[in-house]
Structure 1
Amino acid sequence: MAMSGPSGAPGRRRGRGGRRAPMAEINVTPLVDVMLVLLIIFMITAPLLTAAVPIDLPDSRAKPLDTEEREPVQLSIGGDDTIYIGEDPVSEAELPARLSAIAQADAGQDRPRQIMLRADKRLDYGRVMQVMGELNRAGLSRIALVTTGSETGQ
């Protein structure tokens, strides 16, 4: 009785030494599965990456700034005139001391850390300038005003 190979022909081998022929197709199903999982992860985590202090920012047609390697300091002024450094509320009395501490921490660096100032659009212009004056007094002069992008330029 003759042995039959995988092709059904008795005693015949495929290719050299019985090796399988290379597969010419790429199975993209696992790639699509991984990409969909990554997309879902990014969709869930992206809203969590923004600052948690709710601020109604004004619109602007300005170009976005280049980012730097050090994390900028988020300074927010809410519609109720509450000041936040990061997500921590700061009273008016302790603001100069906190800003001076940030400036002292950056004293050994080439340039001071970027301050991202987020102010509610309903605030008085004088109030925003008062906080910017405190930043300047503490030696923090790299201030970026954060706005929402506007396509129409009203």
Structure 2
Amino acid sequence: MAMSVGSEGGEDAPMSDINTTPLVDVMLVLLIIFLITIPVVVKKVPLKVPTLAYQPTITKAENVILSVRGESDGSCGVYWGQARVNASQLLSKAAAKFKNEADRLGPNVTDPNLFPEVHIRGDQNTPYRCIGGTISIMQSAGFIRVGFISEPKGGTATR
């Protein structure tokens, strides 16, 4: 490290050079302080994320199986069995189905496990608005339990 004590002509002109060593030292100290304190400041909410386990679907005759996909024209295609239905048809069919099942079970049944379920098979490229709209319509009709049908990877199903 060199130091200049004056100019060549013997004049007492001010120096225009800046010594950057103290600036670099301060920046390194600040960097070390931030690296040490950031993990302490960042607090995480303790969560237990569920592990993925595929279970075979128990299909009951009273369950409603819907297929949902995004059509090429941008609309949502909802299929009850093999027949395509629009939103109003879906709501009326679902409400009628739920009313028939509720009448069959009787007025004193409150266990949600006894009521029929909705199983939705969604195409991988289906927009969320199609799936979310279908869930909303089915819940409006009275269905409490809505599940998604997926295809597990080979050898991952539980027994």
Under a length normalisation based on structure 2, what TM-score does the superposition of the two structures give? 0.51
Judged with a 3 Å threshold, the aligned counterparts in structure 2 of structure 1 residues 103 and 74 are, in CA distance, closer, same or farther, namely same
Report the 3-state secondary structure (helix = DSSP H, G, I; strand = E; otherwise coil) of the residue aligned with 1:107.
helix
Of structures 1 and 2, the larger Rg is shown by: 2
Q: Distance in 2 between matches of 1:69 and 1:127?
A: 25
* CA-CA distance at 1:70 after TM superposition: 3.5
| Structure 2 residue aligned with 1:83 | 78
Q: Distance in 2 between matches of 1:152 and 1:65?
A: 12
* CA-CA distance at 1:117 after TM superposition: 0.6
Q: Distance in 2 between matches of 1:130 and 1:76?
A: 13
Letter in 2 for 1:90: V
Calculate the aligned-residue CA RMSD, in Å.
2.3
The 8 Å contact of residues 117 and 143 in structure 1, kept in 2 or not, is answered as yes
Render the CA deviation track for 1:54-104: whole Å, top value 9, x for unaligned: xxxxxxx53225525535221111231211111111122322111101111
Residue among 89, 98, 112 paired with 2:93: 98
Residue among 125, 134, 144 paired with 2:128: 125
Letter in 1 for 2:136: G
| Structure 2 residue aligned with 1:141 | 144
Judged with a 3 Å threshold, the aligned counterparts in structure 2 of structure 1 residues 147 and 112 are, in CA distance, closer, same or farther, namely same
Q: Distance in 2 between matches of 1:117 and 1:77?
A: 7
Report the 3-state secondary structure (helix = DSSP H, G, I; strand = E; otherwise coil) of the residue aligned with 2:125.
coil
Gaps of 5+ in 2: 1-51
- Aligned residues: percent identity? 19
The 8 Å contact of residues 62 and 149 in structure 1, kept in 2 or not, is answered as no
Higher helix share: 2
Q: Distance in 1 between matches of 2:141 and 2:58?
A: 23
Hey, which bits of structure 1, 4+ residues long, moved more than 6 A?
none
Q: How does 1:67-82 map to 2 (within 5 A)?
A: 67=58, 69-80=60-71, 81-82=76-77
Judged with a 3 Å threshold, the aligned counterparts in structure 2 of structure 1 residues 92 and 149 are, in CA distance, closer, same or farther, namely same
| Structure 2 residue aligned with 1:116 | 119
Gaps of 5+ in 1: 1-60
Render the CA deviation track for 1:9-31: whole Å, top value 9, x for unaligned: xxxxxxxxxxxxxxxxxxxxxxx
Judged with a 3 Å threshold, the aligned counterparts in structure 2 of structure 1 residues 147 and 139 are, in CA distance, closer, same or farther, namely same
